[in-house]
Amino acid sequence: MFDFQVLASKIVEELTNLIDKNVLVTDKNGYVIASTDPSRLNSFHEGATLAMKNQQPLHMTKEMCENLVGVRPGIVMPIIISDLPIGVLGVTGKPVEVEKYAKLVKKVAELFITDLISRQEKERGIREIEFFFFDLVTSDSSFESIEERAKMLNIDTSLYRRVAMMQTNRQYEIEDVENLLRIQTIHPEMKIIRWGLERLIFLLPIVQKQELAIGLQRISQKIAGKDKGKLPVGVGKAGDFHHLKESFKQAEMAHAVSARQGEVVFEEELKLELLYYSIPKEVQEEFVARTIAPLLEEEELLHNLEVFLQKRTSVQAVADELHIHKNTLLYRLNKIENLLSINLADNSDIATIYTALRLYRKK
């Protein structure tokens, strides 16, 4: 539940911008918890207790001010939410003068609180789904317990089939997630989950692949905003709900590839990358060390080699691409062969070096 004392201060602040009168808010026991007059804070307002008891606005007349504790002329009105009084709102002044403000003031206060409760419920719903998904992909819970928890959260397990992961350019708050859910056109039942500091997870129903790619790209462009860059997006394979853990891991892999390619990547489209990501990290590092390590401090030579392997056309065409003389390129390629003890005319050496470069560049 919300902190009514904190909220009361916000209500008072909001109302003083609407009317030029002293305003106070008491808790349900009649003690002032917010007021435009600091001297009244924590004081007892007996009129507020009567308003709470009767659940009706009361005019604080001159006679009542003389007989009740802590009362000044004005009007006190119970704040009622879901048919329950939670506090009292008071406006100080001649009752006849402040009465015309009474309904407006009460309505603003109750709308303020109702809106806060609604936002808190939405936030709680998003957090519960985030905790549920975290457990889903990191624990070994039984199918039965997953189904039971999903049912409690009103998650239809027959609907969700795959996971996508998107990089963001900042840490997203719950309000940001709500905004994305409002503008997204992928599927009305799609869920968005914050993952780490700068990633979002999309829990996806079945959507046509092309439509999904377009929808994710639109969200990516929206998030990128003024940066106008393409944010990495990876999509796991579609399966049933109980295979979302595998889809999540696949989305992670596709996301890492997308970081290099600059476009939405579907895991089922991966070929060599699938092999690379299945190799243990320490094996990858050892392979790079045994093959291209001498070039890692020679950025110019490394770049020339990569362009040469990408083009695989005439030496002149590669030299033109690099904007250098053909003889300069030949000199550098010869230097590379000597440093790495390879022959760039040998297909076996070419395959080895190409693989090492792909492993190195994916880091």
For the segment 195-203, the average pLDDT, to the nearest whole number, is 93
> 281-361 — its CATH code?
1.10.10.2840
pLDDT digits (tens, 9 = 90+) for 66-86: 999 999 999 999 988 888 888
**Structure tokens given for 247:** 């889809």
Between strands 199-205 and 191-195, the pairing is antiparallel
What letter does residue 173 receive in the DSSP assignment? P
| Paired residues of 195 in beta bridges | 199
Rg, C-alpha atoms of the chain: 33
| CATH code 3.30.70.270 region(s) in the chain | 156-277
Architecture of domain 4-117: 2-Layer Sandwich (3.30)
Instruction: Tell me: pLDDT of 363 over 70.
Output: no
Q: What is the mean pLDDT of residues 304-308?
A: 92
What's the DSSP call for residue 39? G
pLDDT at 229 over 70: no
Instruction: Compute the CA torsion angle 306, 308, 313, 317 (nearest 10 deg).
Output: 110
Out of 3.40.50.2300, 1.20.200.10, 3.40.50.2020, 3.30.70.270, the CATH code matching 156-277 is: 3.30.70.270
CA 150, distance to chain mean position in Å, is 21
- Residue 259: band (very low, low, confident or very high) from pLDDT cuts 50, 70, 90: confident
β partners of residue 79: 87
**CA dist., res. 255 & res. 266, Å (int):** 9
Pick the residue with more confidence: 311 or 234?
234
13-22, 69-78, 231-240, 292-301: segment of lowest average pLDDT: 13-22
Task: Tell me phi and psi for residue 76, to 5 degrees.
Answer: -120, 140
Quick one: what percent of the chain has pLDDT higher than 70?
Answer: 98
Q: Which of 50-54, 89-93, 247-251, 257-261 has the lowest mean pLDDT?
A: 257-261
Amino acid letter, residue 10: K
What secondary structure, in 3-state letters, does 268-286 show? HHCCHHHHHHCCCHHHHHH
Residue ranges matching CATH 1.10.10.2840 in the chain: 281-361
Decide: pTM greater than 0.75: no
**Distance of CA 144 to CAs 22, 109, 151, 196, Å?**
58, 45, 11, 28
Amino acid symbol at 325: H
